[in-house]
Amino acid sequence: MAKKLSRADLLSLEAYAEQRPAFKDRVREHKKKRVVAVGPHATLHFEDRLIMQYQIQEMLRIEKIFEAEGIQEELDAYNPLIPDGSNWKATQMIEFSDPAERAEQLARLVGIDRQTWVQVGDAPKVYAISDEDLDRESEEKTSSVHFLRFELTPEMVSAAKQGAPIRAGIDHEHYTAEVEFSPETRDSLVSDLD
């Protein structure tokens, strides 16, 4: 199981300032393998411990947080996005550059988060458990950002580790797309599994 982050895993503001350029480059390269476009307007950003450590360090730096209570609040906010060994966690972005089109599409795409899936080999599709922290849609529109969890069976974990292809897709009545993960993405996501 991916270990959750604690205060001991974080750098002081001074140490982070010194290491930030190299750390930022490392995370940028790491993230490239973990972003999957599902059709032209949806992407899944698969989160992990390193990415969350970077997010926390950046929040501490920007907000100049150095007191224990503030640091713990950031840990409590970001630790739930670290995979637990039997799942993948992703931030889903619905992206339309034109504001009017975005508003129109977000009204049509209510429920898109719950119609997003991953599939390991020929196992059944695993639909996302979404927005466990708070509701991000109404009957009128959905959000452009959703937090998803894909819970895998032990058989799926085993198949993924043995090299089975992994796909992701969306089966919404107004948006359908699917994609097979590249070998680099597949390998990176398999490293999240126990």
For 29-51, what is each residue's pLDDT tens digit?
Answer: 999 999 999 999 999 999 999 99
Q: Does the pTM exceed 0.75?
A: yes
State the pLDDT at residue 29: 97
State the pLDDT at residue 54: 98
Which regions in the chain score pLDDT beneath 70?
1-2
State the pLDDT at residue 7: 95
State the pLDDT at residue 1: 53
Q: Quickly count: other Cβ atoms within 10 Å of residue 154's Cβ.
A: 9
40 alpha carbon, distance to own chain's centre: 18
Residue 130: left (phi > 0), alpha (psi -120 to 50), or beta? beta
